[in-house]
Chain A
Amino acid sequence: MQQLAAVPTLETRALSGDATALELVFSADPRLMSIVILSILVSCSAVALAALIGLPLGALIALTRFPGREGVIVLLNALMGLPPVVVGLAVYLLLSRSGPLGSWGILFTPKAMIIAQAILVTPIIAALARQTIEDLWTEYRDELAAMNVGPLGRIATLLWDARFSLVTTLLAGFGRAAAEVGAVIIVGGNIEGFTRTMTTAIALETSKGDLPLALGLGMVLIAIVVVVNALAWTARRAGERYAG
């Protein structure tokens, strides 16, 4: 049987010391690409899930008055600083075999990582959205009342009209998710080719002393965050020119 020649991967080249950080960045190593793609998918999914929950929640708190509202706002703001390792531990306990959601069987999968990151990002999106929407509500209240717009219509209107400001909110959430390592390493397990993200890989390679790979991944991570922010900023400016 013909022996297949071993293709030097990013990791093997880095380990052998013949690859610099920049070479790693510009090489199309499949292992690097899989790490990058998984990281983007997990973070974007987590932000999307958090937005689905956080945006309406923020709008609801902005538009309603109820006993203890101030306390809820303070709590929501405090949750923006949730320690990732604590969230990771909580999600681990929930999803572990003996945990209440153990039957789902998703511990050490990207799904668990998305859930953990979404929990971290939701308070950020909800708290920032609440502030943005409350400010806009102060401005719109009379007009919407005069047009007899109901509660759901108000929330939809405010979310839509605040969409350009909310882009910044979503970017804050994406930044949190993309930079996060503590939660995903606990619930994902940092399994190569399956749950290894850029941040967990950086942590691992640094601990192994493979600084070129860690640096290369760090550059890619920063570049992604910069590109996402630039695209969002461009879209926001274009939208504002049209909608005011």
Chain B
Amino acid sequence: MRAPGSELPIVLEDVRYGVPGVMILDGISLTLMSGAPTVLVGPNGSGKTTLIRLAMGLIEPESGRITWGGIPHTAPQRRAIVFQRPVMLRRSAAANIEYALARAGTARSEWGPRTGELLALVGLAGLGERAARRLSGGEQQRLALARALARDPEVLFLDEPTASLDPAATKAVEDVIRAVVARGIKVVLSTHDLGEARRLAGEIVLLHRGRVIECTPAEQFFAEPKTEAGRQFVAGELLL
């Protein structure tokens, strides 16, 4: 059943996370509010994926504090995530969505209509009976989006959702993301693709070497970055 309270804002206070010998995130303080998409940008290894996993609640910080709607340690009730390489359950496309609906506590009588609606939303109507693992990469990514949306999330995390997709598949996924945003769902997305960040972001969080370098409205970030790292990123220079 649904948790009654909102899971937003998600507040990270001085969060640190590392593995032996490497500090991946070092003193991250960030607030994710409802509204336009927040896009995490930065080079590979900057900590984008780890930050998303922390904010989703899949891993615990070594130190610092994370709260969801003011509450720490809450299981993901109205949070959903699409991983960079989503894993399809060994079932049909429709059954993948039905599985998520069941886990979210949706009444069985609603599974059929909701599955049809979600498949249509992501442009996979007619492919419901196809084995999920036999879909193309782009189709699997859109099915993963539909499966995440089956949880009726308040916030949706997308970890480099278009990495390794061709332009047509990327456009299809971005169209779905815009439709999701239009439904009032908070989207937090990571990418190292400058163009994608420009197309989708309402707010930019620039990560570099495990730290937040800039957190600013997208328009301002692209017009007038405040830091040298931000300027390099916007200019398309290699940010090492």
Contact = CB atoms under 8 A, between A and B. Distances in A.
Contacts of A140: 87, 89
A74 interface: no
A65 interface: no
Given A143-B87, A244-B131, A148 B103 contact: yes
A6 interface: no
B2 to A, nearest CB: 12
A146 interface: yes
Given A142-B87, A243-B92, A148 B131 contact: no
Interface in A95-146: 139-140, 142-143, 145-146
Contacts of B173: none
Contacts of B80: 146
Interface footprint category on A: 10 to 19
A147 B103 contact: yes
B151 A147 contact: yes
A66 interface: no
B116 to A, nearest CB: 19
* Main DSSP-derived SS at the A contact region: helix
Contact of B91 (A147, A162, A243): A243
A142 B84 CA distance: 12
B103 A149 contact: yes
B91 A244 contact: yes
Contact of B131 (A146, A153, A241): A241
A23 interface: no
CB-CB nearest 4 A-B residue pairs:
A244-B131, A244-B133, A161-B90, A147-B103
Interface of B: 56, 58, 75-77, 80-81, 83, 86-92, 95, 99-100, 103-104, 131-134, 151
6 contacts: A145-B58, A146-B83, A147-B104, A148-B75, A149-B103, A244-B133
